[in-house]
A and B are shown apart, each in its own frame.
Chain A
Amino acid sequence: MSMAEGLQPDEFAATAVRAVTACAGLGVREQAQNLAGDGLLGIIADEEVGGLALPLGFAVPVIAAAHSGLLGFPLLETILVGRLLQSSLTRLAAAIVSGDKLATIAWQGEAIAERDGGLLLLNGSLARAPSAASVDHILVRMSGGAAALIPADAKGVVVEDAAGLDLTVPEHVVRLEKVEVPIGSILPAGTWDLLSSDANVLRAAAILGSAEACLALAQEHASTRRQFGHALSYNQAIRHALARQKLGLESIRHAITRSLSRDGGPVQRDAAFLAAVTYGSSISEGALQIHGGMGFTWDVPVHRHLRRIRTLQVQGDASGLISTFGRRYVSEVAPFAEAGA
Chain B
Amino acid sequence: MSVLEAVSTQSVAGENLTGEAYRDAMHRWLHANLPASFRSDSAAFAPPTLQQSVAWEAAMYCAGLTGITWPQAYGGHGRSLREHLIANQEIGRLAMPESVNSIGKELAGPIILAVGTEEQKRRFLPAILEMRNTWCQGFSEPEAGSDLAGLRTRATQSGDGWRINGQKIWTSGAYRSQRCLVLARTGPLEDRHRGLAMFAVPLDANGVRVRTIKSIDGRESFCEVFFDEVEVAQQDAIGAPDEGWAAAIRVLEIERATNRMYRAWRFENELRHLISACKTDTALSAMVADRHYSVRLGEVAVEIEVLKAHVETAVEALASGDKIGARGSLAKLYWSESHQRFAALAIELLSQASLPQNPAIKVARRRFEAIYLAARAETIYAGTTEIQLGIIADRILQLSRGK
Contact = CB atoms under 8 A, between A and B. Distances in A.
Contacts of A243: 388-390, 392-393, 396-397
B310 A242 contact: no
B280 interface: yes
Contacts, number: 152
Contacts of B394: 239
A9 to B, nearest CB: 15
A333 B305 contact: no
Given A251-B310, A326-B298, A336 B276 contact: yes
A250 B328 CA distance: 12
A186 B400 CA distance: 57
Contacts of A240: 386, 389-390, 393
A325 B279 contact: no
B42 interface: yes
A323 interface: yes
B293 A326 contact: yes
A251 B394 CA distance: 19
A271 B338 CA distance: 15
B401 interface: yes
B392 A246 contact: yes
A329 B342 CA distance: 15
B371 interface: no
Chain A contact residues, majority secondary structure: helix
A333 B297 CA distance: 13
Interface stretch (B191-199, B214-222, B236-244, B267-275): B267-275
Interface string A323-341: 1111101100111111110
Contacts of B279: 330, 333-336
A257 interface: yes
B261 interface: no
Contacts of A333: 272, 275-276, 279
A246 B302 contact: no
A267 interface: yes
Interface string A228-240: 0111011010011
Given A219-B399, A329-B271, A267 B295 contact: no
Interface centre among B39, B279, B289, B393 (most CB of A within 10 A): B393
A236 to B, nearest CB: 8
Interface of B: 36, 39, 41-44, 95, 271-273, 275-277, 279-280, 285, 288-289, 291, 293-299, 301-302, 305-306, 308-310, 312-313, 327, 330, 333-334, 360, 363-364, 386, 388-390, 392-394, 396-397, 399-403
Interface of A: 219, 222-223, 229-231, 233-234, 236, 239-240, 242-244, 246-247, 250-251, 254-255, 257-258, 261, 267-268, 271, 274-275, 278, 322-327, 329-330, 333-340
16 contacts: A219-B399, A231-B403, A233-B401, A233-B402, A240-B389, A242-B399, A250-B310, A251-B306, A251-B310, A267-B305, A271-B306, A323-B294, A330-B288, A330-B297, A333-B276, A338-B43
